[in-house]
Amino acid sequence: MTEIYKALSIAGTDPTGGAGIHADLKAFQEQGVYGMAVITSVVAQNTLGVKSFEEMSQNNISQQIDCVIEDIKPDAVKTGMLASIDIIELVAEKLKAANIQSYVMDPVMVAKSGHHLLYQDAIDHLKKLLIPQATVITPNIPEAEVIIGKSIETLQQMRDAAKEIVQVYGAKAAIVKGGHRDGEARDVLYFDENFEEFVSPRFDTKHTHGTGCTFSAVITAELAKQKSIKEAVTVGKEFISAAIKHTLGIGKGQGPTNHFAYRSMNQQIARQPL
Ligand SMILES: Nc1ncnc2c1ncn2[C@@H]1O[C@H](COP(=O)(O)OP(=O)(O)O)[C@@H](O)[C@H]1O
Ligand SMILES: Cc1ncc(COP(=O)(O)O)c(N)n1
């Protein structure tokens, strides 16, 4: 029998399905991994923005995580929106106790629409309790700036930030994403004392809701399948590039990406005569 690989996302919701836990589950499924989800916050949002959010209780989140871990142990876990100090402390403790093989940390702070999804006072806890446990952390430039407390404008500063997040803050690998810069979409990975860069053309579209969630979820799925960090990020980049390029064009604001695009592309290639 083929092995069933399992991935868990611990994150917030998006009822329109473009970001957060909904995007994560779709990405897990697309990559052939059994997806599981623990909800930290229920967010009222769509492609136009975030209206409000409510955190689940500590007790409920704790029991959700226990329900998963006691029953179906994930091969990889990702965290997205965690919102508060209490939730970060709880998740950090549960992750440590569960001894998870691969943990991908998407340090979600502010939605593209500008709404804060993490309370300001929780940043230190994110840094102290979760970054040291991360197999891979996937900050965008504003998040990397908050973590290291320095501004990032140049490619060299992206490289320095990725290295600092590994060497000073204790992640095993860090990929600083270039989505928020101009020009080509270049992401910088620092791992094992080496830099790797992942590049795609910048696609001229406003439909980038949930790009970071999807990218980190694909990396999580690939790590669950026992791929190396470099292989997982390579697939993550191919997936998100295809998903942005072949936009669905839905929603009245910043629409979701196309989670079908990567698989359709590969199936087309597979159908080519040899
Ligand atoms: N317009 C774009 N064209 C191509 N790739 C993009 C574009 N916007 C973002 N990306 C890529 O999408 C991934 C997610 O990056 P980013 O949008 O910065 O994350 P976040 O959602 O956390 O802000 C990265 O690989 C980044 O390079
Ligand atoms: C629950 C949740 N998690 C993460 C994001 C960030 O996604 P984006 O930066 O694309 O708005 C979001 N909007 N909602």
Closest ligand 1 atom, residue 19 Cα? 21
- The Cα 155–Cα 253 span in angstroms is 30
CB 59 within 8 A of CB 67: no
Whether residue 27 is predicted with pLDDT greater than 90 in this model: the reply is yes
The preferred substitution site among 211, 218, 257 for testing ligand 1, maximizing ligand atoms within 8 Å of CB, is 211
Whether residue 271 is predicted with pLDDT greater than 70 in this model: the reply is no
Interface confidence (ipTM) of the complex: 0.98
Mean pLDDT throughout 242-268? 94
* Interval between CA 243 and ligand 1 midpoint (Å): 10
Whether residue 272 is predicted with pLDDT greater than 70 in this model: the reply is no
- The Cα 233–Cα 189 span in angstroms is 9
Rg of the chain, C-alpha, whole Å:
17
Mean residue pLDDT across the chain: 96
Whether residue 273 is predicted with pLDDT greater than 60 in this model: the reply is no
Q: Which among 141, 112, 138 has a CA at the least distance from the CA of 253?
A: 112
pLDDT band with cut points at 50, 70 and 90 for residue 91: very high
Q: Decide which of 3.40.50.300, 3.40.50.720, 3.40.50.1000, 3.40.1190.20 is the CATH code for 6-266.
A: 3.40.1190.20
Q: What is the pLDDT of residue 267?
A: 84
The secondary structure of residue 120, as a DSSP letter, is G
- 194-224 pLDDT, tens digit per residue, is 999 999 999 999 999 999 999 999 999 999 9
Following CA atoms 8, 218, 187, 159 in sequence, which dihedral angle do they give, to the nearest 10 degrees?
Answer: 40
**Strand 49-55 versus strand 34-46 pairing type:** antiparallel
- 108-124 pLDDT, tens digit per residue, is 999 999 999 999 999 99
Q: What is the pLDDT of residue 270?
A: 63
- The Cα 247–Cα 111 span in angstroms is 19
Mean pLDDT throughout 11-25? 98
Closest ligand 2 atom, residue 43 Cα? 1
Q: Which ligand has the shortest distance to the CA of 244?
A: 1
- 174-184 pLDDT, tens digit per residue, is 999 999 999 99
- The Cα 264–Cα 210 span in angstroms is 20
* Residue partners of 245: CB distance under 8 A and separation at least 6: 203, 261
Percent over 90 (pLDDT), the chain = 94
Closest ligand 1 atom, residue 185 Cα? 27
Whether residue 274 is predicted with pLDDT greater than 60 in this model: the reply is no
Where along the chain do its domains lie?
6-266
Beta bridge partners of 107: none
Q: Is 156 left (phi over 0), alpha (psi -120 to 50) or beta?
A: alpha
pLDDT band with cut points at 50, 70 and 90 for residue 2: confident
Ligand 1 pocket, residue 212 CB under 6 Å: yes
Give me the catalytic one of 13, 40, 138, 208. 208
